[in-house]
Amino acid sequence: MAGPRALLRQFPLLLPQNRRGTAYEGFLTAQGRDFHIRVLLPEDLQLKNARIECSWSLKKILHRYQHILKQRLHSCPDLVSFMVELRTVLEIALKNTADLHVPRPPEYYSCLVRDLETLGWNKVAYVDTGLTTLKLKAEDSRGRQHLITLKLNAKYPTEAPDCLVDFPVQFAISWMPQNSLLDIYKQFLAALESLRGFWDALDEIDGKTWVLEPENPPQSATARRIAIGNNVSVNVEVDPRHPNMLPECYFLGADHAVAPLRAKLNNNMHLWDPEISLLQNLKDLLEIDFPSRAVLEKSDFAKDCGICYAYRLDGATPDHVCDEPRCGQPFHQACLYEWLQGLPTSRQSFNVIFGECPYCNK
C-alpha cells in the first residue's frame, strides 16, 4: 500500500492535516489549473467510506462523473491510486467542458481591487494575471514569514475564497458576504499567533540539536527525528495545540542503546514541566545533553546504509540498526527486508523477518 511519501511525490499540493493520516487538504492540478480539494478518511482508512469535499467549480465540472468516482473509491487499493484516477477523470472532464473558465463580472474586479487597496499592496506576495489566485504574506510576532494562498471564484465576495496555508492544523475562515480580504488576513494573523508556541518549540529544536528528519521541514511538520548519539535518535511528535505537553517519543537505534532511554522516559515522565521549554524537558527526562551543533557535524550521525551505501533512498533514511553493540550499522528498512528475504537462513513470522546482520553476521 502506498504511503504518505508516495502521495506527497505525486501530489505535492495535497497536505496531511493530522497525524493519523485521515484528512488531507490542498489542490489538485489539471490542465494547468489548481482545484481545492479535501479528503476525509475513516479511522480504518477504508477508501470506500471516504468523503471528498471540493470547491464549487470542481464539483460542477465533475458532476457528470460522480458514479465513476464512486466506483473508483470502492476499487482503488489506496489514496494515491484514487487521486491518480481522480486526476485522469478531471483531465477528461475539462477537455469535454465547453466553458472551462467561468467569466468574472466587472463588479468582481472592482471589488477585488478595492479590497486589495484596503488591505495594502505591501501584503501581497503574488497575484496571477487573471486576478483569481492571490498569495498574501505575513510576519508573526517572532519574525517568521508565512503565506496564505487564496483561490477566488466568480461569486466573490458572496462566496468565500478557498484558502491554503502551511499549518499543522486545519485553518477554516469565518465568512459573510460583506467580508473582505482584510477579514481573512486578520483571521490569518490570529491563527499565526495561536500557533506561536508550537513553532517556538520546534525552532529551538531545529536551532540547538541535529535534526535528521525532515531535512527542510515545512511549517506544518509536527515531527522531528533528533540525533542523540552514533546511530541513536528519537522521533518526537509535537501536538500543535499543546506544544508544551509531553510529546509522543519513539526511539530508533540498537536495543542496548535505546532501552535505557525508554526506561528513563517512563520513570521520569512525572517530572515533565509545561512551564519550561519542550527541549529542556526532554533533556531533563532523558538525563542527557543532545549533541551540540557547535561541536559536531550532521555527518557524524547521518551514516549511510550498510547495503546500498546511500543515506537517502526514496526519501527514507537508514533507521534500522544492528543490535550487536560492536556493530551498530544502520540500514534502510527496504534494503534490509530485501536482503533478509534472500537469505536461506532467515525466517519470517507474519510481517516480521528475522536473520543475520549483513555487516557483522550476528
Is 106-201's fold the same as 303-361's?
A: no
Enumerate the domain spans of the chain: 4-99, 106-201, 210-301, 303-361
Buried b (16+ CB within 10 A) or exposed e, 132-156: bbbebebebeeeeebebbbbbbeeb
Question: Is there a contact between 37 and 51 (Cβ–Cβ < 8 Å)?
Answer: no
Distances in Å between the Cα of 66 and the Cα atoms of 22, 29, 60, 155, 158 are 22, 19, 10, 24, 27
pLDDT at 296: 67
Q: What span, in angstroms and rounded, lies between the C-alpha atoms of 149 and 188?
A: 11
Superfamily for the 303-361 domain: Zinc/RING finger domain, C3HC4 (zinc finger) (3.30.40.10)
Sheet holding 211-213, edge to edge: 211-213, 223-229, 232-237, 248-252
- 332 — pLDDT class (breaks 50, 70, 90): confident
The CA-based dihedral angle spanning residues 252, 255, 257, 262, taken in that order and rounded to the nearest 10 degrees: 70
Average confidence (pLDDT) over 90-108: 74
252: enclosing H helix or E strand:
strand 248-252
Give 12-51 pLDDT, tens digit per residue. 888 888 888 888 999 998 888 888 999 998 888 888 888 8
**Residue in 150, 172, 149 with CA at minimum distance from that of residue 161:** 150
Rounded average pLDDT over 119-141: 93
Fold of 210-301: Ubiquitin Conjugating Enzyme (3.10.110)
**pLDDT tens digits for 243-297?**
999 999 989 877 888 899 999 999 999 999 999 999 999 999 999 999 887 766 6
**Triad 259, 224, 19: Cα angle to 5°:** 100
Cβ neighbors of 27 (< 8 A, separation 6 or more) are 13, 14, 34, 35, 36, 37, 151, 164
d(CA 282, CA 297): 21
The larger pLDDT score, comparing residue 25 to residue 348, is at 25
76 pLDDT tier (thresholds 50, 70, 90): confident
Helix, strand or coil, per DSSP, at residue 101: coil
DSSP letter at 216?
S
Residue 352 has pLDDT above 90, yes or no: no
Does pLDDT of 138 surpass 90?
yes
Tell me how far apart the alpha carbons of residues 219 and 226 are, in angstroms, rounded to a whole number: 17
For the four alpha carbons of 293, 297, 301 and 305, in that order, the dihedral sign comes to positive
Sheet holding 162-165, edge to edge: 124-127, 133-139, 145-151, 162-165
Q: What is the pLDDT of residue 68?
A: 83
The predicted model gives 79-96 an average pLDDT of 86
Residue found by looking up cell 544492528 in the block = 322
Q: Which of 208-217, 244-253, 296-305 has the lowest mean pLDDT?
A: 296-305
> Rounded CA gap, 69 and 89, in Å?
8
At residue 101, the pLDDT reads 56
The CATH code of domain 106-201 reads 3.10.110.10
Q: What is the pTM of this model?
A: 0.64
The C-alpha cell at 123 is 501584503
Residue 113 is which amino acid?
A: V
138 HSE (CA, 13 A, CB side): 20
Reading the block at residue 214, the C-alpha cell is: 525532515
- Residue 342's pLDDT is 82
Among 240, 242, 211, smallest CA distance to 227 is for: 211
Q: Is the pLDDT of residue 79 over 80?
A: yes
Question: Mean per-residue pLDDT for 177-198?
Answer: 96
Cα gap 71→190, rounded to integer Å:
41
* Strand 352-354 versus strand 330-331 pairing type: unpaired
Mean pLDDT of the chain: 87
Dihedral angle sign, alpha carbons of residues 249, 252, 254, 257: negative
Q: Is 245 left (phi over 0), alpha (psi -120 to 50) or beta?
A: beta
Geometric angle at alpha carbon 228, from 203 and 18, rounded to 5°? 50
